[in-house]
Structure 1
């Protein structure tokens, strides 16, 4: 299995994040990708290749052009306002506030284009996010060219990013960009299986009214876990997409045995849907030692996950999402890939 990775993804290097009411050391940091890359090479998963250059159009097929332009121009506007440190939004256009006005000030724009206060933007955020999306696009192209599987070592992650907003450490929705690219290049049915501990709210919203992309997510119950406002079991799609979204929210403390029932249900949906390609949003934060999560996976469980997905017999694109127990991240990730490859 080939791995796609770009060093440009390491440029986004936040120092802090807002969590639990205080500034804390950031957990979505470059070493996440470096540990995964190290394990991929040491365990001989396959060739590691650099991503191709893509025009911005595949990103615009998923994200609003004005949002993409905001991310690209953000740092110059931030520094023009006299700021020099990484940025956090602090005001949002919710409920009774207007959302139909054009805002000029960078602080207002940060709120306009964000979903939380815990996702810092810095000088190189856009460069890293663009490289992350191109990593997913290149891996998708490998499947179009005949590969049966590929691993997009994406960082920053993507599944919380929506049509015109960032959050949850995510800026461009890499899995969604790859899915739309596969659709635009002739494939009819794409499935996205999100196994990250947190619900992929951005991915769900992007495809919620469409039958050509099946979205399945197994995650912590949003009544008690981020992102809180999406990911409930009664969310099943709308309009033409009715029935093509499925969520399995699980309680804190869920271990592999408690997880497998939902996984088997998701696999049955995949067998019925018969996708041309399955994209796995590969979050690794179900691990028992993850600092911001509450499930109880052990490292060996990730072999079992990969083995179960392989039994589906579907061409598969793995896209790295979350996972913040850095010392074990490479091991857990490669366990999935090796389990899948047999």
Structure 2
């Protein structure tokens, strides 16, 4: 049960199932034995990756599941419990980065990440994703969401229709990279969702495996210390290949 319009959310019920409604954005995020250990280990690994880059490494890749970008500061959802990319961005800020750019290339909008940084100007959130009018998470990710308060102008959503070609996707990526370059960040975080792949079973973009090499090359040209955090990607047989292609492209560039 979710406390939607006309229902109260300020009183926490004693009933556990009812409490879930206060802290989950959907019913597709199951918990089981080991869930917390896995989620916490992923967040810890993300913090460790941030520390390596803060200490001078050119880049780090945190290969973790569950993903994190749908989780907000006080809610879970979309298979996500703790927001790993947000942990990286905040860790980099805590360790001296004046400004951090956070680029989310997952097919699904990183609503949790957006909500965490929406009123801040020290973390610039940029997302390429399926249009929320038809794609999960549905209720966030529109182009008119530009931040609020101090964060106005520091949130950029680039929603694309289902079926978008690789050529059009890379045009949007170029817009994202141009804005990130103008932001003059000290570090870059990549929410590396790999479900823009043409063979992904729950997504509808058309990137081939070779396109992920091109993605890595373009990100490298931003010239920033970079932390990659694995997000979605559900074509299990090709997931490793696509991840490695991004990293190879980044290193080669």
Q: TM-score range, shorter-chain basis? A: over 0.9
Question: Are 2:165 and 1:255 equivalent residues in the alignment?
Answer: yes
* Whole-angstrom distance in 2 between the partners of 1:102 and 1:270: 41
Looking at CA atoms only, which structure, 1 or 2, has the larger radius of gyration?
Answer: 1
With normalisation by structure 2, the TM-score equals 0.98
* Whole-angstrom distance in 1 between the partners of 2:151 and 2:158: 18
Pairs within 5 Å for 1:183-194: 183-194=93-104
Instruction: Quote the offset at 1:258 in angstroms.
Output: 1.1
Q: Which residue, 69, 72, 88 being the options, matches 1:178? A: 88
Question: Are 2:190 and 1:280 equivalent residues in the alignment?
Answer: yes
Pairs within 5 Å for 1:29-44: none
Paired residue secondary structure (1:216): strand
Aligned match of 1:196: 106
* Whole-angstrom distance in 1 between the partners of 2:106 and 2:189: 13
Instruction: Quote the offset at 1:102 in angstroms.
Output: 2.0
Paired residue secondary structure (2:239): helix
* Whole-angstrom distance in 1 between the partners of 2:158 and 2:95: 31
Aligned match of 1:264: 174
* Whole-angstrom distance in 1 between the partners of 2:88 and 2:173: 23
Aligned match of 1:96: 6
Q: Which residue, 226, 236, 243 being the options, matches 2:136? A: 226
Q: Which residue, 226, 236, 241 being the options, matches 2:146? A: 236
Aligned match of 2:122: 212
Q: For residues 54-89 of structure 1, give each alpha carbon's deviation from its aligned partner in whole angstroms, at most 9, with x where no partner exists.
A: xxxxxxxxxxxxxxxxxxxxxxxxxxxxxxxxxxxx
Q: For residues 73-130 of structure 1, give each alpha carbon's deviation from its aligned partner in whole angstroms, at most 9, with x where no partner exists.
A: xxxxxxxxxxxxxxxxxx1111110011021111011111100011111111101000
- Unaligned residue ranges in structure 1 (runs of 5+): 1-90
Q: Which residue, 34, 38, 43 being the options, matches 1:124? A: 34
Question: Are 2:198 and 1:302 equivalent residues in the alignment?
Answer: no
Paired residue secondary structure (1:246): strand
Aligned match of 1:148: 58
With normalisation by structure 1, the TM-score equals 0.73
Q: How many residues align?
A: 252
Which contiguous aligned blocks of 4+ residues in structure 1 show a shift greater than 6 angstroms? none
* Whole-angstrom distance in 2 between the partners of 1:132 and 1:103: 29
| C-alpha RMSD of matched pairs (Å) | 0.6
Q: For residues 122-149 of structure 1, give each alpha carbon's deviation from its aligned partner in whole angstroms, at most 9, with x where no partner exists.
A: 1111010000001100000000111010
- Unaligned residue ranges in structure 2 (runs of 5+): none
